[in-house]
Structure 1
Amino acid sequence: METKQKGPLGRPRGFDADEALERAMLVFWEHGYEGASTAALTNAMGISTTSMYAAFGNKEKLFRKVLERYTEGPSAYLARALEEPTALAVATAILAGTVRTTTRPANPHGCLGVQGALSTSDSGQEVRDLLVDWRHSGYSCVRERFQRAVDEGDLPTGSDPGLLARYVTTFGYGIAVQAASGVGRDELQEMADAALHNWPPLFP
């Protein structure tokens, strides 16, 4: 008995998923989670709504994939900064990386992790929580690195790694907000240099 040959189980997507994700990242980065409509996303990605759902899931799942891409791409300076040999070099690299990333001419200004869900409605609570966790994760990594600096004698005994990490990360997020408001790279770098002029800062 002759058996009919079955066709392929799935049709190829017909688009570059990596490029589509990159374009979606730029839309979310510029407009935030709530401001990025499905129509704007699919138009930028060059695909239909059906294809977007099939490839990436719903809008929230797409945003989660975008945040992963942002962490491994534009925001990867944080992981590199933590490898610097001293706490001062770590702090310097974090703020310099923030300035560079938030002011690149080819990208939206500001930080996806800060602006992504600033004004979401109740339906965006999970995304807001996701970004809170994302920012806290970055802070925790910096705190752990500064704790190591205390243990190794690079930071003075009695230094508070948590407070220093909060100081650096909060200042970095402030840079991102200023960048989104149109403050230029040179001025932001001057601010970063001033913030680290007396390192480590003395807290009461």
Structure 2
Amino acid sequence: MGRHREFDVDQALDAALGVFWHKGYEGASYTDLTQATGVERPGLYSAFGNKEALFLRALGRYYEHYLDFFPAAMDLPTSREVVEHILRRSIELNTRYPDHTGCLGIHGVLAASDDAEPIRQALIDARANGEALLRERLERAKTEGDLPQTANSAALAVYLLAVLHGMAVQAKAGFTRDVLELVVDQVLSTWPSNDTP
């Protein structure tokens, strides 16, 4: 009969998430993971499988618990409110934790070996899903008359994600919340609307 697990799986997953968020997928060693979780390597294998499976579970938890504001923003009344909500909440998330700034989805595997290709692809797919969600919301804004018919929803979605990703990189590099707020103010000052002459 196997031994009963002697640790809280959710707590271990949260601890592993913090390691991956700080060091990225390849930068996180098993020593880092076992020290952070307090679980020896066999226990981690037993609970989560290999490092790749652990990262993917941590990534799912990250999207569920930390990026829940992104899909929630889609219900706001105007595209400008959607954009402002996403940008400002992203700043808050990217700067909230001094020991893991930036975004796990961006820093998880910016540069990777061939062995990390499944992780890189999972992150690409997640970003593509976010882009599609945003593009659909901006198309709805055009239909509702909130955005001009001349607005390019696909280009605006890509632009917003480029700003989000850039802010995550800058937060990792030490940009303060106040500086990133200036970026958001600039984006909002040029956001298209039917009120624009």
Structure 1 gaps of 5+ residues are 1-8
* Equivalent of 1:153 in 124, 145, 152: 145
Please say if 1:92 is aligned against 2:65: no
Q: Which amino acid aligns with 1:118?
A: L
In structure 1, what is the equivalent of residue 128 of structure 2?
136
Q: Residue 38 of structure 1: CA displacement? A: 1.1
Kindly tell me the number of residue pairs found equivalent between the two proteins: 193
How big is each residue's C-alpha offset from its partner over 1:26-66, in whole Å with a ceiling of 9 and x where there is no partner? 00000000000111111111101111011011000001100
Measured in 2, the distance between the counterparts of 1:171 and 1:40 equals 31
In structure 1, what is the equivalent of residue 181 of structure 2?
189
Structure 1 runs (4+) greater than 4 angstroms displaced: none
Using structure 1 for the length normalisation, give the TM-score: 0.91
In structure 1, what is the equivalent of residue 14 of structure 2?
22
In structure 2, what is the equivalent of residue 52 of structure 1?
44
In structure 2, what is the equivalent of residue 72 of structure 1?
64
Measured in 2, the distance between the counterparts of 1:80 and 1:72 equals 11
Measured in 2, the distance between the counterparts of 1:29 and 1:119 equals 14
Structure 2 gaps of 5+ residues are none
Q: Residue 119 of structure 1: CA displacement? A: 2.0
Q: Which amino acid aligns with 2:55?
A: F
Measured in 2, the distance between the counterparts of 1:81 and 1:97 equals 10
Q: Residue 12 of structure 1: CA displacement? A: 2.5
Q: RMSD between aligned alpha carbons?
A: 1.3
Measured in 1, the distance between the counterparts of 2:116 and 2:97 equals 29
Of 58-67 and 77-86, more deviation after overlay is shown by 77-86
| Aligned sequence identity (%) | 42
Higher CA-based Rg: 1
Using structure 2 for the length normalisation, give the TM-score: 0.94
In structure 2, what is the equivalent of residue 114 of structure 1?
106
The 1:97–1:107 alpha-carbon spacing in structure 2 relative to 1, beyond 3 Å, is farther
In structure 1, what is the equivalent of residue 119 of structure 2?
127
In structure 2, what is the equivalent of residue 4 of structure 1?
none
Measured in 2, the distance between the counterparts of 1:13 and 1:193 equals 49
